[in-house]
Amino acid sequence: MTETFQLTREQAQVYDDLFVPALFGQWAPQLVDCARVHHGQSVLDVACGTGVVARAARDVVGHGGRVVGVDLNPAMLEVAQGARPDLEWVHGDAEDLPFENAEFDVALCQSALFFFADPGRAVAEMARVVVPGGVVALQTYAPLAEQPAYGPFVELVAGHAGPEARVLLGTYWSQGAVDGLIGLAAAAGLSLLESRSSLGVAVFPSAAAVAQTEIQATPLAEQIRPETYERIVAGTEELFGEYADESGLVRLPIRATLLAARRG
């Protein structure tokens, strides 16, 4: 969906208008809750996008607290700033956070760990910028084997487009194994507070839109022939028939993994 950092302002606005309500918005209050954010705290939202987690954090910390979002993509930050000029939006890399040691009480990261070249380094950076006793919390998606809809979908695409499709469509599911996340947290000197598995929903206007969204976001779009793409769309319509309502809207179950850990 947002694998590229070269998003235009229009694409970032589409992200906020369509993808946040259809998928990303639902996890934000869960992540804030998992991190035990409370009134008056200072909270950093890493890879904030248009800022849905930062907004949820502000609802809890109130005006006595501080909320900062940081992202690599200037267009995402522009949309975030336009929507919520009352929060702080900073351009920066999750793997080299532009903040002092121990500047925040809590650092959160939602739906982005799998984009980082070195996720362990990003978690270590989050640990660095929270105070001793502070909390780092991550949200990502469970591995494909635990995804009731996306697992069969990726197998369908691989059946038509070849096994490399599993890799090309694999980004979102690559950092969701709980043991792996616990390992990243431990390597950053954090001790586990809680991990959660949360079944949510991804809403699409149609089954064909699922195929289009998922394939267009990857290099697979340029690699497959039009007739292969058509077969994938037809297969997706059959596969996801059970998830469509009368209007054609498709609601796919999608499993997220959330983890909170404390700096010693």
Ligand X SMILES: C[S@@+](CC[C@H](N)C(=O)[O-])C[C@H]1O[C@@H](n2cnc3c(N)ncnc32)[C@H](O)[C@@H]1O
Rule CB under 6 A: which residues touch ligand X?
Answer: 1-2, 5, 20, 24, 47-49, 52-53, 71-73, 76, 93-95, 110-112, 115-116
Pick the closer one to ligand X by CB: 32 or 233.
Answer: 32
Nearest distance from residue 156's CB to ligand X, in Å?
A: 23
Pick the closer one to ligand X by CB: 156 or 257.
Answer: 257
Residue type, 162: G
Nearest distance from residue 179's CB to ligand X, in Å?
A: 23
Asked if residues 140 and 114 have their Cβ atoms less than 8 Å apart, the reply is yes
Nearest distance from residue 18's CB to ligand X, in Å?
A: 12
Rounded Cα distance, 168 and 153, in Å: 13
Pick the closer one to ligand X by CB: 49 or 143.
Answer: 49
Looking at the chain, the number of H-run helices and the number of E-run strands are 12, 7
Asked if residues 105 and 114 have their Cβ atoms less than 8 Å apart, the reply is no
Pick the closer one to ligand X by CB: 207 or 256.
Answer: 256
Asked if residues 30 and 56 have their Cβ atoms less than 8 Å apart, the reply is no
Rounded Cα distance, 48 and 90, in Å: 10
Q: Which of 256, 123, 94, 125 is nearest to 185 (CA)?
A: 123
Nearest distance from residue 4's CB to ligand X, in Å?
A: 9
For residue 192, the Cα-to-chain-centroid distance in whole angstroms is 20
Residue type, 179: D
Pick the closer one to ligand X by CB: 60 or 239.
Answer: 60
Rounded Cα distance, 35 and 113, in Å: 16
Nearest distance from residue 137's CB to ligand X, in Å?
A: 12
Q: Which of 243, 184, 173 is nearest to 214 (CA)?
A: 173
Tokens 């939202």 correspond to: 45
Nearest distance from residue 252's CB to ligand X, in Å?
A: 16
Pick the closer one to ligand X by CB: 89 or 116.
Answer: 116
